[in-house]
Every structure is written in structure tokens, then in C-alpha cells.
Amino acid sequence: MTPSTAGSGHPEALGLLYLHVSSKRQLDTAIDIDPDGNSIATQREVSRRKCDALGITIAQEFVEPGNSAQSIDKRPVFKDLLAYLREHTEIGYVVVYMRSRAFRNYIDAGVTERQLAALGVKLISAKEDFGEGIWADAMKGVADIMNEVQVRMSGEDIKTKMRHKATQGGTVGRAKLGYLNLLVDIDGRLVNTIGIDPVRAPLVRHAFELYATGQYGLRDLQEIIGDQGLTTRPSARRPAKPVSINKLNQMLRDPYYTGVVVYKGEVIPNGRHEAIISQELFDRVQQVIDARVQRGTRSRTPFHYLRGMLYCQRCHDAGRTSRLIYTLGRGRSGAEYEYFKCHSRQKGDCDLPYVPVWIVERAVENSYATSASARTSPRRFATALTPRSRTKTASFARRTPTSRRNSPGSTPAKNDCSISRKTTACRAPRSRNASEPSTWSVLAFVRP
């Protein structure tokens, strides 16, 4: 069926346009001239001229944006087009810019064209005229085979060039977290290169340093560096967002940050990008990860219902934000002890001592017990402990008592804790560490 002979069976020759580009970059080319980009706009213009010449009225247009799939099964828009044809039997033609835009292998071309023929639909190429008859069908088959050969040769050429770039120390693909893709003028030529991200690189280094201590799990690390501002880089489609635990784990395992390039499993030294961390720091991080994997604790971190909700008041008063980290310590006898510690203490910026968990729990409970929102029911009290609750301040003062106090976990003696509207002051048991100061104060608050 051709437009010239369709008049006897159809009052009007109707057709569909299928426009396709293989990459997002093609879609954005000359977007200031046409919202769909220059490539789609060119295909649309040429295809419409072909329809006008053949007397075909365009019923609908299908655009496949930035999809380089090698088969029809992986092209959702083309599959939608076939479904549309099954529902609209009045359509007689599908017009493409070139057969290579619709098919990337000769098998797909043959199968799809038979499917279209069974529906009474003819495929027309706006840039190619194969004519009619047996020899025309043969030429279409040859063209489809050559299109596939060209695609495969282009793929091999790209692989060769990418490997050559990697062996020369170049970065293949988008810059990793902590780096930026830059366009640098070298001897009058604009060259794509990789540079340090001045905002994220220090935070990436800090993440490695924290994990190398062995005192932080991935979730704790995610919360800490998230507080400090580490996010993914924003793009035209996606805004910046906190780094996921999976992304963080990949980053800690990636030797790229030591200045090397890894391509297809091969480590290539002397990358052209600047190292963010030393090899010694990277090796320490790997030792921590491997040790946790061997113990089966790679994804398991200590849990506490207040974890991630408490922030150091001392650091807050000093103008910085620092979480109280829940951690487990082990004594000489092998018994485990639970503590909250200020993250900034490790960096030497805070002098908050380690606070036993039971003291923090009791003070938070006592503080919330005085609030109207927690008086009605245990469920309301549990809701009050979520991060959405309003800021509450609890102050803990620990002094060395003159007599032995209750041990952690036991019921405190009368008047062992006193409650006021703004603060809660608790006395803890005598310290066994003679070097510990006789008095100190702990300040913590639950951030909303």
C-alpha cells in the first residue's frame, strides 16, 4: 500500500512519526533554537516534508529521547507506537528519518517490519528511497545489516579510545564525588579535565579519616558528613541530595581517591587527577572494612532509639553542629558499655566526656515527662522522641558523690535526679577512673 493507491481504501492516508536520538547530549543540542534540540527538530522537519510529498496526514508523533538501546524491546516509546497501531487500524504508515534511527540490528528490522505489515502498516524512510519489489526489500536488508555493522564498529572504536584514555591516566566518564568536570584553556584549546571540588573534597577526606578509626558504622558516617554538608552534585535533572549509604560504601572502596585510575578491573597508577587521600589512609579504611566483613558486621551498626537525634550543646554554643554518637566500648573484663560521645571530641574541638547511655536516657525521659505533649500516653511520648519534635534542652551535671551511688541500670535513689522546667540535673555513679575530673557538665539537645 502506497499513498498514491490508498485513496480507494482510505479516505485519508494517516501516518505516525517516530523520532529518535541516542543520547541526552543530542537531545540538548541547540536547545536555544528548538526546545526539542537540533537533532529532533531536523528529523521532524525532514519527515514532515516527506509526508507532505506523499500526501500523508500525521496523526501523532512519537519521540524517543536519549535512548541508545540496541533492541526494540528496550525502547519504551517504540513499543508504545506498536500498541497505538494495534488500537488504531486506520493508520497506514510509520515515517522515520532513516532506518538506522528505528533499528540498530537487522533482526529487529526484519521482525518489526513483518509485524507492521501484518497490521497493514508500511514503514517509510524520509532520507532513503528503496523503491518497491523484491530487490527493494533486498536493499533494505543490506542497509539494515550495514547499519548494525556500523553500530558495532563504532562501539569497538569507543572502547579502544576509552581504554587508551584510561591507560594515559585520564578519567573515563563523569567526575566522582569530590571532583569536578572542568573545561580548561590549554594553549588556546579548550580541554576537558578533572579538578578538585573545593567544597566536597575536604568532606570526602574527612569521611575516610573517620571510618579509618573503626569507631563509626556507615550509617553514623552518613549522618555526620550529612550534617557537615556533603551532598551529591546537582544536575539539570536532579538536585543535590544527601549521599546514600550505598554510594558511601562505594566511595570508601574506590582507590581512585588515591590518584589512580581503575578501568575494567585494572589499576592504572599515576592518574592525571589529584589525589584526595593518601594510600596509607585508604589501606587503613580497607582493613576496617575487611575486618568487619570477616566478622559479619559490615552492615550492622549498634542501634539505639536516640541515635541520630542528639546534638552536642557545647558545640552548638560554640557555633558549630556536632552529633552525639552512640557507641559501644569494651572493658578489660570483656563486658560492653554503651556511651554517647561528641563527634567533635575526636578532632579536639570539644571537651565533652563520654556519657553513659543510661544517664542520657533518664535525663531525656525526665525532660519529656515535664512536657505537656508527653503526659497523655506512652504513644505520644514515643512520638515526641522523633526528629520532628521541637527542640528540647537537657543539662546533665555529674559530680563525684561522697558515697557510692547506684550502678547503671538500677533504680536511682530518691532525689538522685532533680527536674526543672528547662534543665534536668542527674548525679551519676562514682567513676572508677581516678584521673577523671571530679566535676563536669554535659549539654545535649534533640534537634527538631
17 pLDDT band, cuts 50/70/90, is: very high
Residue 350: its pLDDT value, please? 87
Per-residue pLDDT at 408 = 42
Quick one: 263 exposed, middle or buried, by C-beta within 10 A (0-12, 13-18, 19+)? middle
Considering only residues 433 and 415, tell me which one the structure prediction assigns the higher pLDDT.
433
The lowest-confidence range among 26-40, 66-80, 161-175, 307-321 is 26-40
Q: Are 257 and 208 in contact (CB under 8 A)?
A: yes
All domains of the chain, ordered by start, with CATH? 6-163 (3.40.50.1390), 168-301 (3.90.1750.20)
Query: From start to end of 309-438, where are the E strands?
Result: 310-312, 324-330, 336-342, 355-356, 392-399, 417-419, 424-426
- Parallel/antiparallel/unpaired status of strands 355-356 and 392-399: unpaired
For residues 394-401, give the mean pLDDT.
33
Q: For residue 35, is pLDDT > 50?
A: no
Residue 370: which pLDDT band, with cuts at 50, 70 and 90? Answer: low
Least confident piece of the model among 259-263, 283-287, 408-412? 408-412
| Nearest alpha carbon to residue 4 among 67, 128, 92, 115 | 92
Read off the pTM.
0.56
- What is the reported pLDDT for 3? 53
Cell of residue 234, nine digits: 546537582
- Which residues fall within 8 angstroms of residue 169, CB to CB, at 6 or more apart? 261, 268, 270, 271, 272, 273
Between residues 441 and 211, which one has the greater pLDDT?
211
pLDDT of residue 403: 34
Q: What is the pLDDT of residue 434?
A: 35
* Position 378 pLDDT exceeds 60: no
Which set of grid coordinates corresponds to residue 46?
525532514
User: What would the grid cell of residue 417 be?
Assistant: 535526679
Contact 392, 422 (CB under 8 A): no
Nearest in space to 39 (alpha carbons), one of 58, 61, 19? 19
pLDDT digits over 148-162, tens only? 898 889 889 989 999
Contact between residue 182 and residue 193 where contact means Cβ atoms under 8 Å apart? yes
Q: Which residue type, as a one-letter code, is found at position 184?
A: V
Q: Over the chain, what is the mean pLDDT?
A: 75
Is the per-residue pLDDT at 290 higher than 80? yes
The whole-number pLDDT of residue 415 equals 33
Residue 85 pLDDT > 90: yes
74 has pLDDT over 50: yes
> In this predicted structure, what is the pLDDT of residue 282?
96
Greater pLDDT, 231 or 428: 231
Looking at residue 84, its pLDDT comes to: 94
Reference 208, options 243, 256, 251; nearest CA is 251
Q: Are 54 and 17 in contact (CB under 8 A)?
A: no
> What average pLDDT does the segment 350-362 reach?
82
Report H helices in 258-411. Answer: 279-295, 313-317, 343-346, 357-369, 378-384
Cα radius of gyration (the chain): 33
Which pLDDT band holds residue 12 (cuts at 50, 70, 90)?
Answer: confident
pLDDT digits (tens, 9 = 90+) for 218-254: 888 888 898 888 999 988 778 999 999 999 999 999 9
Comparing 146-160, 256-270, 327-341, the range with the smallest average pLDDT is: 327-341
- Give the least confident one: 69-83, 113-127, 143-157, 273-287: 69-83
Higher pLDDT, residue 281 or 4: 281
- What does the pLDDT read at residue 417? 33
Quote the pLDDT of residue 232: 93
CB 13 within 8 A of CB 95: no
